[in-house]
Amino acid sequence: MTAKHRVLILSVSAGAGHIRAGEALAKAAAAHPETGDVLHIDALRYTNKIFRRFYSQFYIDLVKSAPVLLGWFYDAQDEPWKTEKMRLMLDRMNTGPLVRQIKKFRPDITVCTHFLPAEILSHLIKHERIDTQLSLAVTDYYVHAMWLSRLFHHYFVANEESKAQLENIGFPPERISVSGIPVDPVFSEPWDRAALRAQYALRDDVPLLLVSAGALGVSSAERIVEVLGKLTAPVQIMVVCGKNEKLKQTVQKQLARGSTPDHLSFRVLGYTDAMDQWMKAADLYIGKPGGLTTAEAMSCGLPMVIYQPIPGQEERNSDFLLENGAAVKCNHLTTMAYKVDLLLQDEGRLAKMRQRALALGRPDAAAQVIQTLINERQFEPVNIPRPPRGEKTKEKLKQIGRKLPFAKDDIEPGFPG
């Protein structure tokens, strides 16, 4: 009898998306007949308190108070291999318990939904301290340089552009799959919109807007509710406040104080584990384009109205949706009601956006990732070599030379080749 594969899923609780992707992969792995033990770990639980704070709460703090700084940091670090040695050194200093946990579990297959544990595992495999099949599932529609690993088995990316991006860096195309971002298997289940609306006491003849503050409640939901009260079309509006109980209470008080027009109806919801049903019942999603949220919405054929994308990865996700006709972007709240009204009044345009969203959706991504890795169980890892000593310096000098005022595009600076 063939031994079943032990599967380890490694996530990081820096935002909710990486964890949700890990949970989706764990479910898909547990459902596969050729897998045995499946373990899903939040890697940050096995690091020290300061390191954990930096990776989780510090990110949320920047989103709230200094998004521009976050965007600058994102762009500054987005150069292939620029900070790999420094990051690996910091990670190794703070992840000793994680390494011990991985060795204890002895996984055959390991999938990372964040770059932090991938860096550690790549180092361990290279030095033959652990034998596992390391793969990465990128959770945005753009591959930031921090996701790059020199030793791996397979990359799973959200779109064809991300695959081209990795290929141009030197990654072998046969080890890059456009699987989509892993979402919970419930998103692949068929649905009846009329039945879902009846289940939640919603009208089937009036559009439903889903306003999401995200799983962490980081959003401008209160102000959005105010401007949506100016909509002229009849609409049902569900405001999902996530885990932010204070925000939920604030919005409820706001609605109780105000006078809602007869053609509008508002409902407020806290955290829910039935987001798939709400997305399947809705006509438009209003909020931020996080990687997992975007993938879930596309799996449901749900067009998006993007507001205040976080600088960096969410801006890249926003670009992808806009280029593919599955979203509109609202740069300022003063025009949100106007833009939503236009969409709701143009049924043909909204139908096309729904079709485009559904075409972008990949609800079976998690199952595809697991099946691919089982099929490739005997494959040797890919090793992206570092350039010979001195080559980096030479290339850096060439880059500097190209920026000098006297350097011309068609003349290579006079550094030795």
Q: Is residue 410 part of a domain?
A: no
pLDDT at position 196:
95
Check whether residue 265 and residue 344 sit in a common domain: yes
pLDDT at position 412:
39
Cα 70 to Cα 44: distance, rounded to the nearest angstrom: 20
Number of H helices, E strands in the chain: 18, 14
Check whether residue 20 and residue 152 sit in a common domain: yes
pLDDT at position 416:
37
Check whether residue 204 and residue 137 sit in a common domain: no
Q: Where are the alpha helices (DSSP H) in 258-364?
A: 275-281, 291-299, 313-323, 336-345, 347-360
Q: Is residue 277 part of a domain?
A: yes
Q: What amino acid is encoded at 224 in this protein?
A: I
pLDDT at position 410:
41
Check whether residue 158 and residue 101 sit in a common domain: yes
Check whether residue 222 and residue 264 sit in a common domain: yes
CA distances in angstroms from 378 to 82, 132, 137, 372, listed in the order given: 32, 11, 19, 12
pLDDT at position 373:
96
Check whether residue 204 and residue 160 sit in a common domain: no
Could you list the residue range(s) of the whole structural domain that residue 351 is in?
A: 189-360
Cα 318 to Cα 305: distance, rounded to the nearest angstrom: 10
pLDDT at position 413:
39
pLDDT at position 277:
96
Q: Last residue of some domain: 316, 343, 360?
A: 360
Check whether residue 67 and residue 167 sit in a common domain: yes
Per-residue pLDDT of the chain (417 residues; tens, 9 = 90+): 567 999 999 998 877 889 999 999 999 999 999 999 999 999 888 877 777 777 667 777 777 777 788 788 778 888 887 765 655 555 555 567 888 888 899 999 999 999 888 888 888 888 888 889 999 999 999 999 989 998 999 999 999 999 999 999 999 999 999 999 999 999 999 999 999 999 999 999 999 999 986 544 545 777 888 899 999 999 999 999 888 888 888 888 888 887 888 999 999 998 888 999 999 999 999 999 999 999 999 999 999 999 888 888 999 999 999 999 999 999 888 999 999 999 999 999 999 999 999 999 999 999 999 999 999 988 888 888 877 655 555 555 555 555 555 444 443 333 333
Q: Is residue 393 part of a domain?
A: no
Tally of domains within the chain: 2
Check whether residue 48 and residue 147 sit in a common domain: yes
Q: Say which residue the tokens 């459902």 belong to.
A: 31
Q: Is residue 130 part of a domain?
A: yes
Q: Is residue 417 part of a domain?
A: no
Cα 299 to Cα 142: distance, rounded to the nearest angstrom: 18
Check whether residue 279 and residue 380 sit in a common domain: no
Phi, psi of 32, rounded to the nearest 5 degrees: -80, 135
pLDDT at position 321:
98
Cβ atoms of 280 and 299 closer than 8 Å: no
Q: Is residue 405 part of a domain?
A: no
Check whether residue 167 and residue 238 sit in a common domain: no
Tokens representing residue 86 in the block: 């420094």
Cβ atoms of 286 and 211 closer than 8 Å: yes
Q: Say which residue the tokens 């595009």 belong to.
A: 409
Cα dihedral across residues 317, 318, 319, 321: positive or negative: positive
Q: Last residue of some domain: 360, 375, 395?
A: 360
CATH number, position 197: 3.40.50.2000
Helices 347-360 and 336-345 cross at an angle (nearest 10°) of 100
Q: Is residue 145 part of a domain?
A: yes
pLDDT at position 408:
44
Q: Is residue 409 part of a domain?
A: no
Check whether residue 275 and residue 350 sit in a common domain: yes
Check whether residue 287 and residue 354 sit in a common domain: yes
